[in-house]
Structure 1
Amino acid sequence: MTAAEAGRPRVRSAVRAQAPVVGVVAVGGGVGAAARYAAVVWWPTPAGSFPWTILWVNVLGCAVIGAFMVIVAEARTAHRLLRPFFGTGVLGGFTTFSTYAVDVRGLFEAGRHASALLYLAATPVVALAAVWAATAATRRALFRRQS
């Protein structure tokens, strides 16, 4: 048996162990991306306009991840696939910083430089504030109840 053959069972075992995680991330990503698409369909942004829908999708997704992480990391014991499914998959598919970048470029190309710069700066600031606020509010709500 060669060294390469000896390593194959270990590689297969590692792949087999990670397959459920990859699967739930993929399914969750599809769910999150579908939810984002639904938001864009329900509240479309005309070309060259300020992309309010994507801003609020990102802020909402960041707030939910803040609350979710407090719940699964500090308050409850969660199934090992819940974090990859919901945190990475659903919320990763729902939030969209790639569309944010495309929207910034679109605003610049439309000559809306002030809006582009505002959006460029405001999105990460508001998204991080949403994570912080949701984390703090969730901790207060959960741990006040436990006291």
Structure 2
Amino acid sequence: MMFAYVALGGGLGALCRFFLSDFFNSKGSIPYGTWLANIVGSLLLAGFIVLRTKEVLPESIWQLAGVGFCGAFTTFSTFGKETIQLLQTNRIKEALLYVASSLIISLSVVWLTFSLFIK
């Protein structure tokens, strides 16, 4: 039964990322939709991990939201593809900003969430 929760969450996460990317990626010099999805997804996953660690989140919701939704909402493969596209079009500054800000902000929100809520 857990695979159904993962599949449902994954489908919802993929759709949300698609619409977010579709809306924001044309707004500037870097792919803001993917950037936002990865940062928000990192924050959401950190929150779900906190709830799971504190035994507040049932296994089925963890599979739906943490594994399925966050797994499909965030995307390393698209991040990699977009970084390469920026480099191939000689947009080195944008590529570096995209990579650095994605990593620093995503890891920071996870670290901050864990620091505040897991003792």
The SS at the match of 1:49 is: coil
Cα distance in structure 2, aligned partners of 1:135 and 1:70 = 7
Cα distance in structure 2, aligned partners of 1:114 and 1:38 = 26
Aligned length: 119
Matched-pair identity in %: 29
Q: Which runs of 5+ in 1 are unaligned?
A: 1-19
In the TM superposition, what is the alpha-carbon distance from 1:75 to its structure 2 partner? 5.3
Q: Which runs of 5+ in 2 are unaligned?
A: none
Cα distance in structure 2, aligned partners of 1:74 and 1:40 = 33
Q: Which amino acid letter does the alignment assign opposite residue 33 of structure 1?
A: A
1:37 aligns with 2:18: yes
Question: What is residue 104 of structure 2 aligned with on the other side?
Answer: 125
In the TM superposition, what is the alpha-carbon distance from 1:45 to its structure 2 partner? 2.4
Cα distance in structure 2, aligned partners of 1:119 and 1:43 = 14
The SS at the match of 1:136 is: helix
Cα distance in structure 1, aligned partners of 2:74 and 2:85 = 19
Q: Say whether the 8 Å CA contact 2:34–2:78 is kept in structure 1.
A: yes
Give the alignment's TM-score, normalised by structure 2. Answer: 0.87
In the TM superposition, what is the alpha-carbon distance from 1:72 to its structure 2 partner? 2.1
* CA RMSD of superposed structures (Å): 2.1
Runs of 4+ aligned residues of structure 1 deviating over 3 Å after TM superposition are none
Cα distance in structure 1, aligned partners of 2:91 and 2:77 = 19
Question: What is residue 6 of structure 1 aligned with on the other side?
Answer: none
Q: Say whether the 8 Å CA contact 2:21–2:32 is kept in structure 1.
A: no
1:21 aligns with 2:6: no
Give the alignment's TM-score, normalised by structure 1. Answer: 0.72
The SS at the match of 2:30 is: coil
Question: What is residue 89 of structure 2 aligned with on the other side?
Answer: 110
In the TM superposition, what is the alpha-carbon distance from 1:41 to its structure 2 partner? 2.5
Cα distance in structure 2, aligned partners of 1:60 and 1:80 = 22
